[in-house]
């Protein structure tokens, strides 16, 4: 007899409670199901990263990772019968589609139990509530309650002396998917995640509270893609943090807060939590949208961010907020369009974090930045990229502008010498339009 370990967003072997539960049930058949519903809706960057991560996981299992293609409702029960398995083990999924899929698989399994152990989070969504049992809608009290709740210590690692991996089960080929031309992909896999974490702890964690806002330097942990695919567990990171590391701990908690919000309000993946925003009169300007998406707005800090996205499949978090504010409040386009653009390019594209990060900036989400807070793209650039290094890294048309001059090419005699586009809107004027839109919004009734 054997057990099936069905991997999803937990592509690792360390600190993996579900894997340890599967090992306890007998030799493990590790499987990843290529679900057409998820595969076909994912961007090329995310698929390329997933394929690389699966190759790494397969190496961890000595080439015994089983790949199957199809609807999990059909694939998982069939695999159980083929392998003579007595149980299926998973990390619990709390996203809307994942919960629905798992319920259907559980029903289809019949006598085979679907055992849920652990989740992609230190504290599973739905666990942290107010005293009356309702969900938090504001981050700071959620963080306090989350911290008081606490989390388990990291799970034990599989005993390397045990022969616990089942072999001889037929597998489809490992999937291959190329990233878009020109996108520089990071190295995937569990060992890379741990190497990055150790490097960050040793060299940058102490300066994180200030350096995290600077896109011109290596001040972030750059672990979001590893966390998204479960190559490392947030509990493992939390176990290494000390009392002085609260700012980084809060960043981990933001990820868990947004997962909790999505769990409580599944429709928020497409609808504004404050539905007045979906009833506003938004612009319908494809040309402006294309200029934003392709990094041609004429605002260097915005354009550098969007070009970084298309060059690396990633964008610095401070810049994500600025480009999101520009789309919604300077171009007056709905946040949903921007959220879709991000998900199509990000290798760390996480539906909860992406959706609610956008809603935060747009002013319509939980604990949101107020709509009247309009990021000034020039001042943000001067503050967080003071020497213009980030801008010049991604915008070669501004290479001739040294220092902070790169942020204001319109004020430089040679600002447009290399073909950088002029501004497509006047930020000051569009800010007034946004504030006027907000005044109309305030007059709307909720619901």
Q: Which residues are known catalytic residues?
A: 251, 254, 282, 317, 335, 358
What is d(CA 252, CA 120) in angstroms, rounded to the nearest whole number?
A: 12
- What residues have CB less than 8 Å from 88, skipping those under 6 apart? 3, 4, 6, 76, 80, 105, 109, 112, 113, 114, 115
Contact of 26 with 163, CB cutoff 8 Å? no
Q: What are the C-alpha distances in Å from 55 to residues 52, 59, 127, 176, 307?
A: 5, 6, 34, 9, 28
What is d(CA 193, CA 201) in angstroms, rounded to the nearest whole number?
A: 12
- Alpha-carbon dihedral of residues 164, 230, 45, 32, nearest 10 degrees? 30
- Of the candidates 314, 413, 396, 275, the one whose C-alpha atom is nearest the C-alpha of residue 46 is 314
Q: Would you tell me the crossing angle of helices 96-109 and 72-83 to the nearest 10 degrees?
A: 40
Q: Would you tell me the crossing angle of helices 317-325 and 377-384 to the nearest 10 degrees?
A: 170
Return the beta strands (E) in 42-160 as ranges.
Answer: 66-69, 85-90, 114-116
């Amino acid at each position: 007899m054997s057990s099936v370990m069905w991997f999803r967003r937990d592509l690792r072997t360390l600190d993996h409670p579900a894997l340890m539960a599967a090992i306890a049930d007998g030799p493990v058949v590790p499987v990843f199901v290529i679900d057409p519903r998820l595969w076909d809706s994912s961007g090329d960057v995310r698929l390329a990263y997933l394929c690389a991560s699966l190759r790494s996981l397969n190496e961890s299992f000595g080439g015994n990772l089983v790949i199957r293609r199809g609807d999990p409702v059909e694939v998982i029960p069939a695999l159980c019968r083929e392998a003579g398995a007595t149980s299926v083990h998973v990390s619990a999924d709390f996203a809307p589609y994942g919960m629905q899929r798992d319920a259907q698989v559980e029903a289809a399994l019949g006598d085979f139990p679907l055992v849920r152990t652990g989740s992609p989070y230190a504290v599973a969504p739905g666990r942290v509530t107010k005293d009356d049992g309702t969900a938090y809608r504001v981050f700071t009290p959620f963080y306090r309650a989350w911290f008081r709740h606490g989390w388990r210590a990291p799970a034990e690692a599989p005993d390397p002396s045990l022969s616990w991996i089942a072999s001889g089960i037929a597998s489809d080929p490992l999937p291959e998917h190329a990233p878009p031309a020109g996108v520089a992909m990071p190295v995937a896999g569990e060992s890379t995640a741990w190497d990055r974490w150790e490097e960050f702890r040793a060299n940058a964690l102490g300066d994180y509270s200030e350096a995290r806002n600077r896109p011109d330097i290596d001040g972030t942990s750059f672990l979001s893609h590893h966390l998204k695919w479960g190559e490392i567990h947030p509990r493992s990171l939390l176990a290494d943090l000390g009392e002085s590391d609260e700012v980084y701990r809060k960043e981990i908690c933001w990820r868990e807060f947004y997962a909790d919000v999505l769990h409580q309000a599944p429709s928020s993946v497409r609808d504004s939590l404050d539905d007045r925003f979906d009833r506003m009169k938004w612009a319908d300007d494809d040309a402006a949208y294309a200029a934003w998406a392709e990094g041609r707005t004429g605002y260097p800090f915005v354009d550098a961010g969007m070009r970084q996205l298309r060059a690396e499949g990633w964008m610095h978090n401070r810049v994500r907020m600025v480009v999101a504010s520009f789309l919604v409040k300077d171009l007056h386009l709905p946040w949903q369009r921007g959220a879709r653009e991000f998900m199509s390019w990000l290798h760390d594209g996480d539906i909860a974090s992406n959706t609610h990060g956008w809603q935060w900036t747009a002013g319509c989400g939980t604990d949101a930045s107020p709509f009247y807070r309009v990021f000034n793209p020039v001042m943000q650039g001067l503050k967080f990229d003071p020497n213009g290094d980030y801008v010049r890294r991604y915008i070669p048309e501004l290479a001739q502008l040294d220092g902070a001059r790169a942020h204001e090419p319109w004020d430089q005699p040679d600002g447009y010498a290399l073909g950088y586009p002029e501004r497509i809107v006047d930020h000051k004027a569009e800010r007034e339009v946004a504030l006027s839109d907000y005044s109309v919004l305030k007059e709307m009734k909720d619901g």
